[in-house]
Amino acid sequence: EMFGQLTSGLETAWNKLKGEEVLSKENIVEPMRDIRRALLEADVSLPVVRRFVQSVSDQAVGVGVIRGVRPDQQLVKIVHDELVKLMGGEVSELVFAKSGPTVILLAGLQGVGKTTVCAKLANYLKKQGKSCMLVAGDVYRPAAIDQLSILGKQVDVPVYTAGTDVKPSEIAKQGLEEAKRKKIDVVIVDTAGRLQIDKTMMDELKEVKRALNPTEVLLVVDAMTGQEAAALVTTFNLEIGITGAILTKLDGDSRGGAALSVKEGNIADFLKDKLGEPVSGKPIKLVGRGERMEDLEPFYPDRMAGRILGMGDVLSFVEKAQEVMRKEDAEELQKKIMSAKFDFNDFLKQTRTVAKMGSVSRVIGMIPGMGKVTPSQIRDAEKNLQNMEVMIEAMTPEEREKPELLAESPVRRKRVAQDSGKTEQQVSQLVAQLFQMRVRMKNLMGVMESGSLPTLSN
Ligand code: GDP
């Protein structure tokens, strides 16, 4: 069972929520501790675990109740989505050259499965109808050249070799020329690895890369490496510049740390220390899951997260429920607006939604075209929201539901002003604003119904 220990570690977290009604700040403390422990035991680095746990707790506390969905199921979904994000979100496809052969340069330490990947990759691409050629660039181990030749025969792909006396960059160039002559679609170049990162290896890789101008430079990483994978990716990327990684031996008893560390890893932290600037991580493009030539497949972050959690049915169930919920929410709001029932409770709910999403500045930052709002404008808006909340809290439940009461009675407005420590003018403004909002929303809905504006779909 891949990442079995991580799966069962996370299971203890869900189990602690059985019998709870909702997710709360209090009842997620224990489960979050379990999640943290499970990730650390899977060999994910501490900074990554911290960020992960923080993000999951924030979302868990803010999540609304969905009818029929238990809190433990909601937490599973939140953790799933966060795992997907951690592993890069979308699947990252191989890139092919627009014209001429696509050159894929493979780099990596010794023993990680680089030579095997060469042949597996050729086999994989051949099935997509691409002609391939392998180039034996590992000149230090004659056995490596033999191994590549044997594997090449096995998958029925030509292998370019030039013995051990020619420089790797020269072999690479010759191989590429040969591929061009033969109109080969993809050239896959094997290079020498070392047990450790060293300067000679990096210099040689740089030279090979210069000679080839490859479309893809993929770092082959052994899944057993754990969180060290992040540092490897970072170092190779800084030294030679890579386009992605291939994770091998996922069928072994690796704990999962590498799969979870390559994309985000400690890259951001590491580079901040080194260069003072954050740089995004590199995606895992393919994974090796066995010794057979067929055991190479694209890396799908969502499927991987699903496998880790082992709860595909729960995930799709929560997704469906969320969809229904979004629709019901929207419908309820629409009904309220149409019947002009939008009151101060709704007003408050809206401002709190904004607050829950983070600061106003963050929310504004997410709206396209709103990037030019100045910090002082944002501060004003934030202050404004706070003032509104204080005033609404000073209203009686009846006043919140029937804003007309406030509109009609200066005495009530005066009381609200006194209780909230705001001026009567501020209270009057707030009341006026609510009625304006009703009108605006009603107009907007009218426009939507008449079809001149597209209605928002889920
Ligand atoms: P290189 O030194 O990086 O070229 O590594 P090799 O390609 O020679 O592979 C080293 C060993 O790892 C070989 O015994 C391979 O069969 C094995 N290997 C490579 N990929 C995988 C994999 O995905 N799963 C398993 N179980 N073994 C693998």
pLDDT given at position 365? 46
pLDDT given at position 254? 83
The predicted-structure confidence for 97-117, as pLDDT tens digits, reads as follows 998 899 999 999 999 999 999
pLDDT given at position 149? 96
Task: Specify the DSSP element, H or E, that contains 396.
Answer: none
pLDDT given at position 142? 84
List the single range of 112-126, 181-195, 319-333, 409-423 with lowest mean pLDDT: 319-333
pLDDT given at position 383? 77
pLDDT given at position 325? 65
Residue nearest to atom 28 of ligand 1 (CA): 291
Q: How far apart are CA 11 and CA 17, in angstroms?
A: 10
The predicted-structure confidence for 170-209, as pLDDT tens digits, reads as follows 999 999 999 999 999 999 999 988 888 889 899 999 999 9
Q: How far apart are CA 29 and CA 31, in angstroms?
A: 6
Atom of ligand 1 lying closest to residue 116 CA: 7
The predicted-structure confidence for 364-397, as pLDDT tens digits, reads as follows 444 444 445 566 666 676 777 788 889 999 999 9
Residue 9 has pLDDT above 60, yes or no: yes
Q: How far apart are CA 205 and CA 218, in angstroms?
A: 12
Residue 315 has pLDDT above 70, yes or no: yes
Mutate to test the pocket of ligand 1, among 105, 116, 190 (most ligand atoms within 8 A of CB): 116
Ligand 1: residues with CB < 6 A are: 108, 110-116, 193, 248-249, 251-252, 288-291, 295
pLDDT given at position 357? 47
The predicted-structure confidence for 126-173, as pLDDT tens digits, reads as follows 999 999 999 999 988 889 999 999 999 999 999 999 988 899 999 999
Task: Specify the DSSP element, H or E, that contains 135.
Answer: strand 132-136
DSSP string for residues in 251-265: TSS--SHHHHHSSST
CA 339, distance to chain mean position in Å, is: 41
The predicted-structure confidence for 23-51, as pLDDT tens digits, reads as follows 899 999 999 999 999 999 999 888 889 98
Residue 448 has pLDDT above 80, yes or no: no
Q: Which amino acid is at 278?
A: P
Residue 352 has pLDDT above 70, yes or no: no
pLDDT given at position 363? 46
pLDDT given at position 445? 57
Q: Which amino acid is at 329?
A: D
The predicted-structure confidence for 250-291, as pLDDT tens digits, reads as follows 988 888 888 898 887 545 555 555 555 445 578 999 999 999
Residue 89 has pLDDT above 80, yes or no: yes
Q: Exposed, middle or buried, 172 (CB in 10 Å: 0-12/13-18/19+)?
A: buried
pLDDT given at position 453? 39
**Which sign does the torsion angle of CA 234, 236, 237, 243 carry?**
negative
Strand arrangement of the beta sheet that strand 284-288 belongs to? 159-160, 132-136, 186-190, 102-107, 216-222, 244-248, 284-288, 296-298
pLDDT given at position 378? 63
Q: How far apart are CA 156 and CA 133, in angstroms?
A: 10
Find tokens 């050629």 and name the residue. 133
- Cβ atoms of 221 and 229 within 8 Å: the answer is yes
Distance 181 CA to ligand 1 centre (A): 31
Atom of ligand 1 lying closest to residue 110 CA: 2
Q: Which amino acid is at 93?
A: E
Atom of ligand 1 lying closest to residue 288 CA: 23
Task: Specify the DSSP element, H or E, that contains 159.
Answer: strand 159-160
- Cβ atoms of 32 and 10 within 8 Å: the answer is no
End-to-end CA distance of the chain: 37
Alpha-helical segments (H) within 182-255 = 199-212, 228-239
pLDDT given at position 384? 78
Residue nearest to atom 18 of ligand 1 (CA): 113
Tokens of 115: 């030579």
Interface predicted TM-score (ipTM): 0.98
Coil vs helix vs strand at 104: strand
Distance 166 CA to ligand 1 centre (A): 25
pLDDT given at position 369? 42
339/302: higher pLDDT: 302
pLDDT given at position 456? 37
pLDDT given at position 295? 93
pLDDT given at position 108? 95
Closest CA to 377 of 360, 390, 394: 360
Q: Exposed, middle or buried, 45 (CB in 10 Å: 0-12/13-18/19+)?
A: buried
Other beta carbons within 10 angstroms of residue 214's beta carbon come to 23
Residue nearest to atom 27 of ligand 1 (CA): 291
Instruction: Report the mean per-residue pLDDT for the chain.
Output: 83
User: How far from 292 is each of 104, 123, 203, 237, 289, CA to CA, in Å?
Assistant: 21, 11, 32, 29, 9
Q: How far apart are CA 319 and CA 326, in angstroms?
A: 11
Q: How far apart are CA 260 and CA 284, in angstroms?
A: 10
Residue nearest to atom 6 of ligand 1 (CA): 113
Distance 106 CA to ligand 1 centre (A): 14
**Which sign does the torsion angle of CA 55, 60, 64, 70 carry?**
positive
Distance 158 CA to ligand 1 centre (A): 20
Closest CA to 151 of 201, 209, 190, 102: 190
- Cβ atoms of 340 and 438 within 8 Å: the answer is yes
Q: What percent of the chain has pLDDT over 90?
A: 47
pLDDT given at position 79? 94
Task: Calculate helix-pair angle for 4-15, 29-41, nearest 10 degrees.
Answer: 170
Mutate to test the pocket of ligand 1, among 145, 291, 296 (most ligand atoms within 8 A of CB): 291
Strand partners, 289: none
pLDDT given at position 209? 97
Tokens of 435: 């009625």
Structural domains for the chain: 4-89+308-313 (1.20.120.140), 102-299 (3.40.50.300), 340-450 (1.10.260.30)
Distance 114 CA to ligand 1 centre (A): 7
Q: Which amino acid is at 182?
A: K
Tokens of 269: 């932290």
Residue 317 has pLDDT above 80, yes or no: no
Closest CA to 338 of 417, 441, 240, 266: 441
Q: How far apart are CA 182 and CA 61, in angstroms?
A: 61
